[in-house]
Amino acid sequence: MSDNQALFERAQAVIPGGVNSPVRAFRAVGGTPRFIQRGEGAYIHDAEGRRYIDYIGSWGPMILGHGHPAVIEAVTAAAREGLSFGAPTEREIELAEEILKLVPSMEQVRLVSSGTEATMSAIRLARGATARSKFIKFEGCYHGHTDALLVKAGSGLATFGHPTSAGVPAEVAQHTIVLEYNNVAQLEEAFALHGKELACVIIEPIAGNMNFVRASVPFMTRLRELCTAHGALLVLDEVMTGFRVGLASAQGLYQKLIPGFKPDISVFGKVIGGGMPLAAFGASREIMKHLAPLGGVYQAGTLSGNPVATACGLATLREIQKPGFFEALTAKTRRLVEGLAGVAKEMGVPFSVDSEGGMFGFFLMDALPQNYAAVMTTDKERFNRFFHGMLDAGVYLAPALYEAGFVSAAHSEADIAATLDAARGALR
pLDDT in tens, 11-53: 999 999 999 999 999 999 999 999 999 999 999 999 999 999 9
Domain ranges of the chain: 4-67+324-427, 69-320
Q: Which of 46, 237, 264, 415 is catalytic?
A: 237
Q: How many CB atoms lie within 10 A of CB 44?
A: 22
**pLDDT at residue 363, rounded to an integer:** 96
**pLDDT at residue 154, rounded to an integer:** 55
**pLDDT at residue 377, rounded to an integer:** 93
Q: Which of 43, 52, 55, 142 is catalytic?
A: 142
What is the C-alpha to C-alpha distance for residues 239 and 175, in angstroms, rounded to an integer? 23
Q: Is the pLDDT of residue 350 over 90?
A: yes
Same fold, 4-67+324-427 and 69-320: no
Reported as a single tens digit per residue, the pLDDT across 166-192 is: 888 888 888 999 999 999 999 999 999
How would residue 311 be classed by pLDDT, with cut points 50, 70 and 90?
Answer: very high
**pLDDT at residue 340, rounded to an integer:** 98
Reported as a single tens digit per residue, the pLDDT across 223-236 is: 999 999 999 999 99
Cα–Cα nearest to 213, from 369, 401, 353, 400: 369
Cα–Cα nearest to 138, from 114, 161, 155: 161
Q: How many CB atoms lie within 10 A of CB 24?
A: 18
Q: Is the pLDDT of residue 159 over 80?
A: no
Q: Write the secondary structure of the chain as one string of H (helix), E (strand) and C (coil).
A: CCCHHHHHHHHHHHCHHHCCCHHHHCCCCCCCCCCEEEEEECEEEECCCCEEEECCCCCCCCCCCECCHHHHHHHHHHHHHCCCCCCCCHHHHHHHHHHHHHCCCCCEEEEECCHHHHHHHHHHHHHHHHCCCEEEEECCCCCCCCHHHCEECCCCCCCCCEECCCCCCHHHHCCEEEECCCCHHHHHHHHHHHHHHEEEEEECCEECCCCCEECCHHHHHHHHHHHHHHCCEEEEEECCCCCCCCCCHHHHHHHHHCCCCCCCEEEECHHHHECECCEEEEECHHHHCCECCCCCECCCCCCCCCHHHHHHHHHHHHHHCCCCHHHHHHHHHHHHHHHHHHHHHHHCCCCEEEEECCEEEEECCCCCCCCHHHHCCCCHHHHHHHHHHHHHCCEECCCCCCCCEECCCCCCHHHHHHHHHHHHHHHC
Computed from CA positions of residues 262, 268, 272, 274, in that sequence, does the dihedral angle turn out positive or negative? negative
**pLDDT at residue 147, rounded to an integer:** 85
Measured in whole angstroms, the distance separating CA 287 from the mean position of its chain's CA atoms is: 24
**pLDDT at residue 128, rounded to an integer:** 98
Could you name the CATH architecture of 69-320? 3-Layer(aba) Sandwich (3.40)
What is the model's pTM? 0.96
Average pLDDT over residues 348-376: 96
Q: How many CB atoms lie within 10 A of CB 319?
A: 18
Q: Is the pLDDT of residue 161 over 80?
A: no
**pLDDT at residue 153, rounded to an integer:** 60
CA 235, 240, 242 angle in degrees (round to 5)? 70
Average pLDDT over residues 102-131: 97
142 is a catalytic site residue: yes
Q: Which of 137, 262, 270, 332 is catalytic?
A: 270
Percent of the chain scoring above 90 in pLDDT: 92
Q: Is the pLDDT of residue 155 over 70?
A: no
Q: Is cis: bond before 293, omega within 30 of 0? A: yes
**pLDDT at residue 163, rounded to an integer:** 79
Average pLDDT over residues 195-216: 97
264 is a catalytic site residue: no
What is the C-alpha to C-alpha distance for residues 78 and 84, in angstroms, rounded to an integer? 10
Reported as a single tens digit per residue, the pLDDT across 86-112 is: 999 999 999 999 999 999 999 999 999
What CATH class does 4-67+324-427 carry?
alpha beta
- Of residues 104 and 154, more confidently modeled: 104
332 is a catalytic site residue: no
